[in-house]
Structure 1
C-alpha cells in the first residue's frame, strides 16, 4: 500500500455509489450491497485516520433516496439504526467526532434521537471529524439558507448589501466545517448528484471505477496520491 502523502487534503467528501450494482452482480438483494457498503465506511474511516485527513463527509442518504421503493427505504433506515447502535463506541475509541447534515426530521423519532445522542457522545473527539449527509440535498440546503437570509433582512437584522460569501456560508448546514478539498465518487458515474454544490466550488474531483462496497485502503491511498499531484490555483493564473 502506498505511504501517506506529505500534505493530505484537509477535507475529503465521498459520494458512495454502487451498492445496488455490487449486490446485483452477485445475485444478492440490494440490502446486501448496503450492508457491504457499511463495511467500506469503516475501512474508509480507518484509512482517513492513517493518512492524517481531518474531515470526512460521506453522502449516505440523499433527499431523493426517499423516492426509492418503500422496502429499500426501510432497509436503509434499519441499517442506519444498526450502524448507530454498533459503531458509536468504536468511533469514540478511535477519537472520531460524528456530525450529521440534512433534513433529519424526515426520519422516525427513534432515529432522530440516536443521531442527537451520537453527536453529543462524540463531541469531545478530535482525531477525525466524520459527517454523514442524511436526507441531504444541496439545493434544499442553499434554498434554506437563502430563506434565512431573506427573513433576517425583512426583520432588519441583515443589510442585504453586506451579505457576502462568508456570511451566506454561515447559514449553511456545513457552517462549522471547512470546504472539501477533494470529492470522490465511486462506481464510475461522473456527477455531483446534488451534493455540497456551494462548498465544492474549488474542490478537486475524482471519479473512480470501483463500486463502493469494494472501496478500500488502497483506493483511498491512491486518491491521496492523485490529490498530491494536482495543482490547485483557485481561479488564479499559474505562476
Structure 2
C-alpha cells in the first residue's frame, strides 16, 4: 500500500524540482566526491562492505546521464586519493581497482557513451591492469567528437598536483634557457594552472560531496577556489536524482562572488 504512494510522491516532487530548474542557471562543470560506498553497504545489510564499491561504480553511469540531461558538459569525479592507495587495506584497494577496470573503464569505452575520458592523478601508483584499462579507455574516447567530458581523479592529491604543476613549469622554462629570475618575473596563476592535471578545462562551478562529510579531502584545491560547495547526507550509491536536482537548485539560488 505504502510503496505505490511513496513512488507517486517521489515522481510528483521530482517533477516539481525539474520545473523549478527549467529557467535556472546550470553549472557548466560539476565535480563530485563519491563518498560513502562502504557505509551504504553496511546500512543495506551486506556482509562484505566492499560490495558498495560495485554499486558506487555502477551508479556513476546513472549520474552521468542526469548531468547530460541537464546540459552539464564537464564532470570530474573523485574515485580514489593517493592516501587511499597507500593507507587502505590492500584487499579493499584491489577490489576497488577491479570495479574501476570492469565497470568504469569498460562502460566509458562503449561506442554509445557520450563522454570523453580525462585522467587526473598519479597513475604510476595504480596497479598495472588498472592503469592500462583507464589509459585504453582514454585513448578510445579521445577520437570521439564528444561534447561531454569526464575527468576521473584517481591516485589524486590536490597538494601534489600543485607541486607537480610548478615543477613542470620550472622544467619547461629551464629547457628554454630562462633563468629563475625570469620565471619569477613572469609567474602567474594562469601559468601554473596550465600545468595542472586539468589544464585547459574549466574550473568546477559546483562541488558535491555525498555521505554527510563536510570537507574537501584535498580534492581540486586549486580549481575549486571559487566553486560553490554542496554537502549531501546520503551515501553515494543512494544518491538519488532528486538529491542531484536539489544540489542544482541550491547552486542556482546562490549569488556567486568569485572571491569578492
TM over 0.5: yes
Picking from 25, 48, 52, the partner of 2:43 is 25
User: Would you say the 8 A contact 1:58–1:131 is kept in 2?
Assistant: yes
**Structure 1 runs of 4+ with >6 Å offset:** none
User: Whole-Å Cα distance in 2 between the matches of residues 125 and 24 of structure 1?
Assistant: 41
**1:99 equivalenced with 2:118 (yes/no):** yes
User: Taking structure 2 as the reference length, what is the TM-score of the superposition?
Assistant: 0.85
Picking from 209, 214, 218, the partner of 2:238 is 214
Between 204-213 and 118-127, report the one with greater CA deviation.
118-127
Q: Shift in Å at residue 186 of structure 1?
A: 0.5
Q: Which residue of 2 aligns with 1:81?
A: 101
Q: Which residue of 2 aligns with 1:55?
A: 74
**1:141 equivalenced with 2:165 (yes/no):** no
The total of aligned residue pairs comes to 235
Picking from 180, 187, 190, the partner of 1:166 is 190
> In proportion to residue count, which structure has more helix?
2
Q: Which residue of 2 aligns with 1:14?
A: 32
User: Taking structure 1 as the reference length, what is the TM-score of the superposition?
Assistant: 0.92
User: Whole-Å Cα distance in 2 between the matches of residues 109 and 21 of structure 1?
Assistant: 28
User: Whole-Å Cα distance in 2 between the matches of residues 52 and 94 of structure 1?
Assistant: 15
The residue matched to 2:243 in structure 1 has which SS? helix
Q: CA RMSD in A?
A: 1.6
Picking from 43, 55, 64, the partner of 1:36 is 55
Write the deviation string for residues 65-88 of structure 1: whole angstroms up to 9, x where unpaired: 111001101101111111245413
Note closer, same or farther for the CA distance 1:127–1:148 as it changes in structure 2 (3 Å cut): closer
Write the deviation string for residues 202-235 of structure 1: whole angstroms up to 9, x where unpaired: 0000111111010122211111111110100213
The residue matched to 1:177 in structure 2 has which SS? coil
Greater Rg by CA: 2
Q: Shift in Å at residue 26 of structure 1?
A: 2.7
User: Would you say the 8 A contact 1:96–1:125 is kept in 2?
Assistant: no
